[in-house]
Amino acid sequence: MSLYILDNHYSFLPDHSSTYTFAGADGHVKWPMKNGAGLGVAGTWNCLWRLGYHPLLVSPDQLPSPTRDDVLFVYLEGFLLSKGQLAVNRWLSDGGRVVSSGDALSWGEVFPGSAVSEQETIDHPYHALAFKFNEENLPKLIAPPKWRYALLRSNKARDFETIGALYAVGGERQTPSRADIQQINNGVAIIKKGGHWHLNGNPFAAFQAWLQGQENINTWFNWYHRIFWLDEYVAYLGKILIRYGSIPSSTPRPGIPGLGSTTLIFKHDLDLSRDTSCLSLENKMNIAGVHPILIDRNSKFWVDMLKENPCHEAAFHYNSIKGNKLSKLWRYIFNKPFPAYKPNLNAISGVGLLNQVRKAQNRGIGIQTLHKHGSFIIYPELIDALNKVYQASSETLGGSSFSRAEILRWGIDRVENVKGSIGEWPDTQCPLWYPFKLAHAGHNGKMLCGWEMTSLMETEPLLFEQMLDYQIDGIEQRIITINYHPYHATAKTFAEDGCLPWLKRNIEIMQDRGVLAMTMAELFMKINALSQHQNV
């Protein structure tokens, strides 16, 4: 029983009328902006991977003869090229199962145009899409506003079946119990014909769009658990796929071998501090942490310190902020807070990030994992820049950049509530507690070869215990990254006695529960050792 995903290079992608063009690392990039175009293959892979499966990305030539329990996932925005179409037809005729998403009209042979209408969008500009099945009291959010969906025209031949209904979510949409929820006439959640299931509304691409910040997740936080939002979204999709027969319930979910149900990563962004109390505490309590080093006057101090403590990971804390040399003078003269931070586009777009990595490497800073300094995710330039780093540096395995952030999309330089959004602390903007892949929609949906993780900053013990206690049906493993800054370890920024007592207590809780801790580079190396992921 295996799960396969068809490589999207074997489909014809239509011209996208709405694209964002920017200067990328290897020339100008055209990034489609609507309906998650280019994100569906990565979204499918990340969703199945998060559920504990080991999906394989394949070309038509790599598809084996299926067993009746093998499943092929296909994401389409246009039409399959002949090679891909022949492979899918052969797969179905040999008894394999197909799960499709994207454009329903691309499957004209399966769902004739007389039965399914052209793709629609909801008239209201802020209404999202939701699924609802008979056993559910409330619909479950499934796609962001302005995303397309298919309508059922007729099924006179009764040669396919429909499962569930499609709903529009608007009004006071932040709270499910108060939202304006209306069923969409002739809107269905799943269209099924034989061994082919089509998921309406493009949920896998929607998952990827929320996962990497292309769509604003803030408005919808109350529709799932705020801190485990994307985990719960994935668990819901997994239940649908199993409940309605597209994935056999007996399909193995090996997850990441060698890890328990919960794994912890403690990291410490070392910016502007030489406070070694977090490092000393972890040594005393026999815990290895991740210590991202910023390029500043403290760099050599930390490079030397971590060489003396080789069980810890020395990582790179790259910059996303435009420096303000007058900030200290401003505070001294006017007795006012520092002026607001500004995003540094040149530092994290094009080859700017690669230049930072090379500079760090020359200074002896570890570059196996990269961690963003400052709150800015400049989208999608940062993904293009990370892609260039992974191409140029085989030593770099991934990092933690997509967490709490100010996400600035499509060329803006400040939060303005439409293209720019900011997360409320302690919310993470990408609440998925498992390694995932970013997708480069400007390169036909290519998945970046490096891994990405989210994290929470300065987590107090009560919240930490809540996270450890929270269980999600259908999710067997999670990897939680907690970040404590040495700058705040003994300062009163978050707590009267500083955050060091929080770190100590959380390590005690972790050890009392027998939870495993490891460094991020160690985790990524363990995953990369899995032969199943050599094609990603």
- Do 427 and 227 meet the contact criterion of CB atoms below 8 Å apart? yes
- Do 316 and 369 meet the contact criterion of CB atoms below 8 Å apart? yes
Which residue shows structure tokens 């991740």?
290
Q: How big is the chain by its Cα radius of gyration, in Å?
A: 24
d(CA 475, CA 316): 31
pTM: 0.94
Low-confidence ranges of the chain (pLDDT < 50): 534, 536
Q: How many residues does the chain have?
A: 536
- Strands 369-373 and 398-400, by their bridges, are parallel
- Strands 128-132 and 262-267, by their bridges, are unpaired
DSSP 8-state secondary structure symbol assigned to residue 66: P
User: What is the model's pLDDT at position 534?
Assistant: 47
Set out the domains of the chain in order of their start, with CATH numbers: 3-243 (3.40.50), 262-533 (3.20.20.370)
The residues pairing with 80 across neighbouring beta strands, listed in sequence order, are 11
The residues pairing with 190 across neighbouring beta strands, listed in sequence order, are 163, 199
User: What is the model's pLDDT at position 325?
Assistant: 56
